[in-house]
Amino acid sequence: MIDPTQPDNPDSRCGFVAIVGRPNVGKSTLLNHILGQKLSITSRKPQTTRHQVLGIKTRGDVQAIYVDTPGMHEDEPRALNRYMNRAASSALVDVDVVVFVVDQNHWTTADDMVLQKLEQVKAPVILAVNKVDKLAKREALLPHLESLAQKREFTEIIPLSALRGQNLAPLEEAVDRLLPVSVHFYPDDQITDRSQRFLGAEIVREKITRQLGAELPYSVAVEIEEFKQEGKTLHIAALILVEREGQKKIIIGDKGERIRQIGQDARIDMEKLFDSKVMLRLWVKVKKGWADSDRALKSLGMNDF
């Protein structure tokens, strides 16, 4: 009997790679640099990523399917936080490789929590020690790596800088070696499983987070209400949801200046991603309590798990 997962080419490899870690250690930045283009949104604000996002990297005979996940955190006071933890934990089921991302010199109780979850994982775990470009004293790195090696038996420990794109090749090579022999699951030119509508909504949310990280809590969601190509122009209408009237005023800004800037920044990234001229329209609407309600989250498409 023919096994459809076994390729004619014995060098063909394919598998899933979960990128996990606590919030704000650079998981999304790492995925974007591995892919060579922006797929996951990033900001300096922790917990920017809310969804699992697949990033597909095909190099010759090897296809690595990276799963970017929300940061795992200890507190789950709101439905949104619980959703994000479920999204991150579910990524560990049936993956072939795990990349556990940690900060270059900060180990926290949240890192311990992630490490504890990895005890149940049978897949090999690579420890990626990120942000080494920020080390004031390079000689401090080696003893830190030695201390990390005592926490569990990692398949490899690789220091790198996701932001600077430094030392990513050894990480990719290690991942490629660990993937199973298999046919490729996706066409070689595909880079994600997510729709353009999803990516458009995430770009708008990133621009809001970057501009208002200190002013606005996490109570912002974005829905794409229109996504239509007309000739050479892509028309996109996005609805920004907040929980309170005061938050709506913050996003709109004085005489609408802030929402215009958010729209301009989002449009620039959209035109690069979609390779098209973009006409973007933004609205802001108050939807009280959406981040606390499982039902509201499901209405926003956050019901994958």
- Residues making up the annotated binding site are 21-28, 68-72, 130-133
Ramachandran area for residue 21 (φ above 0: left; ψ -120 to 50: alpha; else beta): left
Q: For residue 42, give the nearest of 30, 59, 55 by alpha carbon.
A: 30
State which fold the 13-178 domain adopts. Answer: Rossmann fold (3.40.50)
For 9-28, the pLDDT digits (tens) are 778 999 999 999 988 889 88
pLDDT value at position 138?
A: 76
The pTM for the full model equals 0.71
Q: In the predicted model, is pLDDT for residue 68 greater than 90?
A: no
Lowest mean pLDDT among 69-78, 116-125, 139-148: 69-78
Residue 18 · residue 98 · CB < 8 Å? yes
Helices (H) and strands (E) in the chain, counts: 9, 9
Lowest mean pLDDT among 50-59, 201-210, 274-283: 50-59
Q: In the predicted model, is pLDDT for residue 77 greater than 70?
A: no
Q: Say how far residue 150 (Cα) sits from the centre of its chain.
A: 28
Domain with CATH 3.30.300.20 in the chain: 196-300
Q: In the predicted model, is pLDDT for residue 218 greater than 70?
A: no
**Rounded to whole angstroms, how far apart are CA atoms 145 and 105?**
9
Residue 278 · residue 226 · CB < 8 Å? no
Q: Walk across the sheet containing 156-159 and list its strands.
A: 53-59, 62-68, 13-20, 97-103, 125-130, 156-159
Q: Walk across the sheet containing 277-286 and list its strands.
A: 220-230, 233-242, 277-286
Q: In the predicted model, is pLDDT for residue 83 greater than 50?
A: no
- How confident is residue 194, by pLDDT bands cut at 50, 70 and 90? confident
Percentage of residues in the chain with pLDDT exceeding 90? 48
- Residues making up the annotated binding site for GTP are 21-28, 68-72, 130-133
Block residue for tokens 């309600």: 293
Q: In the predicted model, is pLDDT for residue 99 greater than 60?
A: yes
Q: For residue 279, give the nearest of 208, 199, 200, 220 by alpha carbon.
A: 200
Tell me how crowded residue 147 is: count the other CB atoms within 10 A of its CB.
10
Residue 51 · residue 100 · CB < 8 Å? no
Q: In the predicted model, is pLDDT for residue 248 greater than 50?
A: yes
Average pLDDT over residues 153-180: 96
Q: In the predicted model, is pLDDT for residue 291 greater than 50?
A: yes
Residue 205 · residue 197 · CB < 8 Å? no
Domain with CATH 3.40.50.300 in the chain: 13-178
pLDDT value at position 290?
A: 57
Q: For residue 235, give the nearest of 265, 262, 202, 200 by alpha carbon.
A: 200
Average pLDDT value over all residues in the chain:
83
Q: In the predicted model, is pLDDT for residue 84 greater than 60?
A: no
What superfamily would CATH give domain 196-300? K homology (KH) domain (3.30.300.20)
Q: For residue 114, give the nearest of 161, 152, 144, 63 by alpha carbon.
A: 152
**Rounded to whole angstroms, how far apart are CA atoms 223 and 240?**
7
